[in-house]
Amino acid sequence: MRGRGSLEIGCSGFSYRDWMGTFYPPGTRRSELLSFYERYFSVVEVNYTFYSMPHPYTMEGFLERTKRLRFAVKVNRLFTHERRFTRSDAERFLEGCAPLTESGRFIAFLFQFPQSFHYSPESVDFIGRLSETFGDYRKAVEVRSRSFGRAEFYREMEEMGLSLVNVDAPKVRGILVGPWRSVGEFNYVRLHGRNRERWFEAEESYERYDYLYLEKELRELKDRIERIREGKETYVFFNNHYRGKAALNALKLKELFGEKVRIPAGLIASFSERLWE
């Protein structure tokens, strides 16, 4: 349940073709995906908005097909990767998201910057200007460059009223893992998997996120999440999405936190035994 100290766990995205037959039963229609997802999770991260601008019709559809599901929205790459947006671009994005932001089921906007975006006074200033452009909505910022791993940046984030995304990812050169610090009014955690071999060498984008956390790794993550909760709302999203592995890991983490969960038969048949290796 939402509230001070609440913990909600879900997935980064829900509409993946390779989830058919694992998380989603074979033959599930596209229009039924989100309502099926809601049977198992209370939160979802909308990530198609990173690649294309949102439309109110799509967001209204999300709300109509669900009853209680709450939504975080990943901001378009125009703002974080290309970084050449205009105020009208921001207005267009916000107008597209309006059905969600006005519904009472909106969590926050997610700003995910690339590893090539490094810490500097100019970078902090850019984050601040971008935050102001998006107004008073709640915002979470994910930075991937290890150069941001400094107390000064965490303090600057607090001053700007932003929440820092805590990340689990492979420990490879230049990537900020963690930092497992509670920065901002709510906690936001993204778990990308630990596919070290394919993080930089992936031929297809999904290969980077082709990873299944083992039970012992989920227990370690549980402990880290507990340490940063500090009585704040905490949202955890699994992004190791290939073939529904995110959904299985999210359900198992919910179970480790004491929730009673049901696991779709396709996930059990495909992956469950590997959790215990």
Domain boundaries, the chain: 7-276
The two three-digit tokens of residue 35, written as one number: 């309502």
Amino acid (1-letter code) at residue 77: R
Whether the ω angle into residue 264 lies within 30 degrees of 0, i.e. cis, is no
Q: How far, in Å, CA of 155 to CA of 108, rounded?
A: 20
Beta bridge partners of 1: none
Q: How far, in Å, CA of 90 to CA of 181, rounded?
A: 29
Q: How far, in Å, CA of 175 to CA of 156, rounded?
A: 20
Q: How far, in Å, CA of 266 to CA of 196, rounded?
A: 27
Contact predicate 118/147, CB 8 Å: yes
pLDDT at 4: 67
Kind and range of the H or E run holding 43 = strand 43-46
Q: Which residue has the tokens 């190791």?
A: 240
pLDDT at 137: 97
| Number of Cβ atoms within 10 Å of the Cβ of 201 | 10
How do 163-168 and 7-12 pair as beta strands?
unpaired
- Please state the CATH superfamily assignment of the domain spanning residues 7-276 in this structure: Protein of unknown function UPF0759 (3.20.20.410)
pLDDT at 262: 94
Q: Which residue has the tokens 């947006």?
A: 85
pLDDT at 1: 43
Q: How far, in Å, CA of 134 to CA of 9, rounded?
A: 25
pLDDT at 103: 96
Regions of the chain short of the pLDDT cut 70? 1-4, 202-203, 273-277
Q: Buried (b) or exposed (e) across 123-135, using 16+ Cβ within 10 A?
A: bbebbbebbebbe
The two three-digit tokens of residue 87, written as one number: 């105020």
Q: What is the DSSP letter of 30?
A: G
The two three-digit tokens of residue 274, written as one number: 């590997």
Contact predicate 234/225, CB 8 Å: yes
Classified as helix, coil or strand, 109 is strand
How do 139-142 and 106-112 pair as beta strands?
parallel
